[in-house]
Structure 1
């Protein structure tokens, strides 16, 4: 039995009998260890229309342990950049590293040559040189910025952005805090990547055991044999886990206990940014209802929940109304191998009970892309026989799944998990380990491990835009992109082709409407980010569909969105799991003027 599974009261009581908790505190995971008064210090902030940023090596201290990092202006996370809608900003970025660097302004709408992706939109920032980004600020909300060079983001090269509206903010609050969630390792990111290439599941120390089988806590033997026969591991939920990661809140570890202060009775706005390299977080504040008011920087109709899953690179703004007591803010990793922990309190020095980690989730048949086998229970496939003009308005009934045709009659599964005929656009390469036989739309589900937590968890279909979308035209055309991978060889790609193998970018014409369906042929969730654009999720809300710049495609599932390609230039399109992108899960989207346009 691991310490994380112990009842904490029982553990402390036993420790007291043995002579006090001090002797035993070292055995507790970081998130459960006793803390001091905490760190009630907001992020450093820079603002205005002329901002200087300096990228450099530095040391940072996490839970009392020093670690090497790359920061900006001497801090990790980098300073909060506070901008104003309607202004033009000049950001002078100096690179003091001995290697090229860059800054990508994640979610910001700007000219493509200011987007900050080396080799796509600009050449990068050479060592000991300065590059000036200049662009109009034409939006509001919570965003972030980070390196798009190598693996620098993992080392601390990231920070939040808040853009205040030119007029009154429609979201009323008395106080706000920016909450940057991230992951940090003492291992150099290239060492992490090398280990992932050497052995699939290298950091997964929580595989199923004989003890788990005997106790009935893991899968029964017949299911284990089935998964083993397919050479798949249902515990392989995250590539990099709490075995090497410390999960951070605003650059602080769980023992540091970063603290956000408030006064009882206030409406507090929490601006969450998932700036991690590889970690999907399940976020909750036990004892507090969370009202989601913004997703990816854009206002949504308020949704009251108890928890939400936050993919890498997503942002959510939340309103809470705490009472005169302390609360624990929990960012639990999706595989339950650790948590980011902070405190929300009316006074410094207060702490609240930290809940134990919940049991780790196990992948299911649906995560293998066999969602159609549940005959529609718990999932609703997106219609495939629906006219675009009706589908765009969310007026279609889901198309039925032909289980007999797929070999799912009484005889069970009759086809290979690598049936390339199911995905004719996918290249038959070593990067394709599996093809999802029956992927389903999972936007109505809360995410892995959250189906049975006993409280309300946000799902994408809960989100509705606060105002009517700017473009509600039906799609001009449709395309499908498959998210493919080979876990054993740690290869990741779109449609079976790594970025280094792609000969041509994905072409779009300015202002066309395209319906894109992302199909996840792997057993791991992928946060997919399209630079320079927002897209509307096709979730049945028609002209009030939620607009996002990043979307999590659950394992074995699919997501459909409509996009207006209104930004001329070359734009990155990639999985935001850093090591997946580094391994090849990225392509370039090119938007060109229509023939005869003078643009």
Structure 2
């Protein structure tokens, strides 16, 4: 039986309505309420029950303005332990939302309150940091609109990307963990283990890479059934009504568990304004790489002829794609296939090396340089982070230090590395120094060394990990610990 999207949304609303109401309290105090719920979405004509984070009004995630307070009550309407991490914000560490590090997870039927300045402004997002819940779509936008964006008057469109599988996350992980001989690691069938890509970057040495000739790297661990943009596939994409010839600010979030994307604007040239919510010197692009957990804000001008503009995201090394449509009034919307004619290229760091921070960190000497080796392999599916050559050791810092992280990827997979708390600035790739972007996630390709710096200004215990969900679950997780914090 085919279920209409309206029917599915009504079912989801009914699930949300069953939670205890705190709306009066939220209105009285100015606090926003977020509820973790089970919801039903439609994926290529079939209903799927997944997790979600919604306000009682049905609003997905949270949007604030720069200068406001992040004042949120998070209610767990699920039947499992859960919680949310406020990715890209820099709260007091006990409000960071990482279970058993910043605080306990939230029990079913319980809630937790959060209150701190909503900074830095920009395109952020929220997601579960408990188990494999992120693969069950427990993620949502978290936008702190910059005063400059508000003053611009531009229409804003949020596009949140996810990878979808009909297979339970626990079974995906179980299959990945099964020992595999090196020669057998390729397409193993089904929806689980992933595709050792034959697109090994053509054996070419690309800027910022130092790839060995002959390739041999793995692009994707998991073969997904669909890619989603705002919960929808290209069979029924979200269509945003815009003005003919107008400029639109795209806020694009890669909330996938295990997929890097290439953003495609077709023949339209856009202007990159921010990466990971932080301003960069504007850069013209027609396509842009977006690793897991990264974000990009791109301003596009709609075609002068009044035609619709698809904004697409193609999986790394794949033809499978998703996206949204910007439609001027009266414009026709053509059917876009889920499979593109050509596969997206592998993500490198050529664009990363072109980015320049519009607001770089102040110049000062480095007080502490910390080597971090990214280790592991596909055959045993064990991944790790060796800090000062030792697995399981935290990065220890003193408050007030300028800290450098030297991340050296010894593996044949790329790793999107994320540090909680303060953003860092990319300063060097394979020995080439530059004043790069300020980020909270940087992709470290195989056999590549990336240096970043940050100022240790928020004492606590902070997670530091690969944002590929299955790499993190298999051991690529560490912490940054401030000495002597209270």
Q: TM-score range by the shorter chain?
A: 0.7 to 0.9
Structure 1's 182 and 274: CA in aligned 2 closer, same or farther, altered over 3 A?
A: same
2:457 maps to 1:532:
no
- Superposed structure 1 runs of 4+ greater than 6 Å apart: 217-220, 496-499
Counterpart secondary structure, 1:350: coil
Conserved? CA contact 1:330–1:340, under 8 Å: yes
Structure 1's 541 and 164: CA in aligned 2 closer, same or farther, altered over 3 A?
A: farther
| RMSD of Structure 2 on Structure 1 (CA) | 3.3
Aligned to 1:396: none
Between the aligned partners of 1:279 and 1:104, the Cα distance in structure 2 is 20
1:584 to 450, 458, 475: 475
Aligned to 1:319: 299
* Structure 2 gap ranges (5+): 6-12, 14-22, 204-211
Structure 1's 263 and 360: CA in aligned 2 closer, same or farther, altered over 3 A?
A: closer
Conserved? CA contact 2:42–2:48, under 8 Å: yes
Between the aligned partners of 1:343 and 1:106, the Cα distance in structure 2 is 26
Structure 1's 207 and 582: CA in aligned 2 closer, same or farther, altered over 3 A?
A: closer
Paired residues for 1:491-510 under 5 Å: 491-495=382-386, 502=392, 504-510=393-399
Aligned to 2:324: 342
1:522 to 411, 426, 439: 411
Conserved? CA contact 1:327–1:352, under 8 Å: no
Task: Please give the per-residue CA displacement for 1:202-243, whole angstroms capped at 9, x wherever unaligned.
Answer: 4346866xxx9xxxx9989xxxxxxxxx9x9837311012xx
Aligned residues: 436
Displacement of 1:265? 2.3
Counterpart secondary structure, 2:329: coil
Paired residues for 1:481-500 under 5 Å: 481-495=372-386
Aligned to 2:19: none
Between the aligned partners of 2:163 and 2:74, the Cα distance in structure 1 is 24
Paired residues for 1:151-162 under 5 Å: 151-162=132-143
Higher strand share: 2
* Structure 1 gap ranges (5+): 1-35, 37-43, 221-229, 362-446, 451-456
Displacement of 1:98? 2.3
Structure 1's 253 and 360: CA in aligned 2 closer, same or farther, altered over 3 A?
A: closer
Displacement of 1:69? 0.4
Conserved? CA contact 1:492–1:498, under 8 Å: no
Task: Please give the per-residue CA displacement for 1:84-122, whole angstroms capped at 9, x wherever unaligned.
Answer: 222323211111222210110001011000000011110
Paired residues for 1:65-76 under 5 Å: 65-73=46-54
2:375 maps to 1:477:
no
Conserved? CA contact 1:464–1:541, under 8 Å: no
Task: Please give the per-residue CA displacement for 1:232-261, whole angstroms capped at 9, x wherever unaligned.
Answer: 9837311012xx331011010120122122
Conserved? CA contact 1:570–1:590, under 8 Å: yes
Between the aligned partners of 1:299 and 1:171, the Cα distance in structure 2 is 16
1:357 to 340, 346, 350: 340
Between the aligned partners of 1:205 and 1:313, the Cα distance in structure 2 is 21
Counterpart secondary structure, 1:495: strand
Between the aligned partners of 1:348 and 1:583, the Cα distance in structure 2 is 50
Conserved? CA contact 1:278–1:577, under 8 Å: yes
Counterpart secondary structure, 2:152: coil
Aligned to 1:12: none
Task: Please give the per-residue CA displacement for 1:512-555, whole angstroms capped at 9, x wherever unaligned.
Answer: 1122111111111111000001111114786x542111101112
Conserved? CA contact 1:78–1:157, under 8 Å: no
Between the aligned partners of 2:44 and 2:267, the Cα distance in structure 1 is 26
2:129 maps to 1:148:
yes
Conserved? CA contact 1:173–1:268, under 8 Å: no
Task: Please give the per-residue CA displacement for 1:31-71, whole angstroms capped at 9, x wherever unaligned.
Answer: xxxxx9xxxxxxx9x99941111112222212211112011
Between the aligned partners of 2:150 and 2:448, the Cα distance in structure 1 is 35
2:103 maps to 1:122:
yes
Between the aligned partners of 1:526 and 1:218, the Cα distance in structure 2 is 16
Conserved? CA contact 1:173–1:266, under 8 Å: no
Structure 1's 588 and 279: CA in aligned 2 closer, same or farther, altered over 3 A?
A: same
Between the aligned partners of 2:97 and 2:409, the Cα distance in structure 1 is 27
Between the aligned partners of 1:340 and 1:537, the Cα distance in structure 2 is 29
2:453 maps to 1:555:
no
Aligned to 1:462: 354
Structure 1's 270 and 98: CA in aligned 2 closer, same or farther, altered over 3 A?
A: same
Between the aligned partners of 1:312 and 1:172, the Cα distance in structure 2 is 29
Structure 1's 254 and 587: CA in aligned 2 closer, same or farther, altered over 3 A?
A: same
Paired residues for 1:328-339 under 5 Å: 328-339=310-321
2:235 maps to 1:255:
yes
